[in-house]
């Protein structure tokens, strides 16, 4: 009697099924600090800071990593950014390395922070009690005038639907924002609203939209290229 086992069925690595769209979510690099004497520019009601010097270095690093994957066979079909300039500047090194331009999807811009727009960091640093209430409630709209969670989630769905419609079965990069990544992953997993809002600047997460429309998460906060 042989000691060898029959071959059986091996475990396999995940491969997106035909027709699935893989969206590599990159958080923008570190943006310029908030300062009361030097307010950030505003676009469509949102604070629109440029990247800080360190953010440009982070953008270069994530761009080089994704470009290496692209040239090694994990081909990037398109690069998407939001309407805010920090995502454009983060995408610049990548598109320069792979010979693509980026496409703007305004629906994927950051959550609107209402009365705290442009001063969120200062409010948090000062220990504003509303911030603690926001964390407890797991909702951005505890901040006065901030975007309701349901509206935020719906416009992000609209942005993802647009990308999927343009690239069924494709592999794309979307340079977005920390709050956006957190909400997308919460939507995909059924997690509480702020459970995944701590993605590092220039980190990589990955969303796979299956052919039946179901969302699957493959990565979160991969920042090994920044070590």
Q: pTM value?
A: 0.94
Would you write out the chain's pLDDT as a tens digit for each of its 227 residues? 556 778 899 899 999 999 999 999 999 999 999 888 888 899 988 899 999 999 999 999 999 999 999 999 999 999 999 999 999 999 999 999 999 999 999 999 999 999 999 999 999 999 999 999 999 999 999 999 999 999 999 999 999 999 999 999 999 999 999 999 999 999 999 999 899 999 999 999 999 999 999 999 999 999 999 98
- pLDDT value at position 45? 87
- Taking the domains of the chain in order of start, what are their residue ranges? 21-226
Cβ contacts of 217 within 8 Å, gap of 6 or more: 185, 188, 189, 205, 206, 207, 208
Whether the Cβ atoms of residue 111 and residue 146 lie closer than 8 Å to each other: yes
- pLDDT value at position 104? 98
Whether the Cβ atoms of residue 208 and residue 215 lie closer than 8 Å to each other: yes
Closest CA to 90 of 155, 40, 30: 30
Look at strands 215-222 and 46-47 and give their pairing.
unpaired
CA distance 51 to 44: 18
Closest CA to 17 of 190, 224, 188, 214: 214
Q: Compute and round to an integer the Cα radius of gyration of the chain.
A: 19
- pLDDT value at position 1? 52
- Residue 90 CA: distances (Å) to CA of 8, 85, 124, 176, 203: 47, 9, 25, 9, 11
Please calculate the CA angle 49-137-41 and round it to the nearest 5 degrees: 10
**Superfamily name and number for 21-226:** Phosphoglycerate mutase-like (3.40.50.1240)
CA distance 62 to 93: 9
């Amino acid at each position: 009697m042989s000691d060898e086992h029959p071959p059986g069925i091996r475990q396999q690595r995940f491969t997106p099924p035909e027709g699935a769209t893989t969206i590599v979510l990159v958080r923008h690099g570190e943006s310029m600090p908030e300062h009361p004497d030097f307010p950030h520019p505003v676009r469509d009601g949102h604070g629109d800071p440029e990247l800080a010097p360190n953010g440009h270095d982070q953008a270069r690093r994530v761009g080089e990593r994704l470009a290496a994957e692209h040239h090694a066979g994990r081909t990037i079909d398109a690069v998407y950014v939001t309407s805010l300039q920090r995502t454009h500047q983060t995408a610049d090194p990548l598109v320069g390395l792979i010979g693509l331009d980026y496409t703007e999807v305004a629906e994927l811009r950051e959550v609107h922070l209402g009365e705290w727009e442009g001063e969120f960091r200062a409010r948090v640093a000062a220990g504003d009690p509303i911030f603690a209430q926001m964390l407890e409630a797991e909702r951005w709209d505890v901040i006065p005038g901030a975007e309701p969670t349901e509206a935020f989630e719906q416009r992000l769905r609209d942005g993802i639907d647009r990308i999927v419609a343009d690239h069924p079965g494709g592999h794309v990069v979307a340079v977005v924002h920390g709050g956006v990544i957190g909400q997308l992953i919460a939507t995909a997993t059924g997690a509480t609203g702020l459970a995944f809002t701590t993605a590092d600047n220039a980190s990589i997460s990955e969303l796979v939209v299956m052919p039946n429309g179901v969302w699957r998460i493959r990565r979160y906060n991969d920042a090994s290229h920044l070590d």
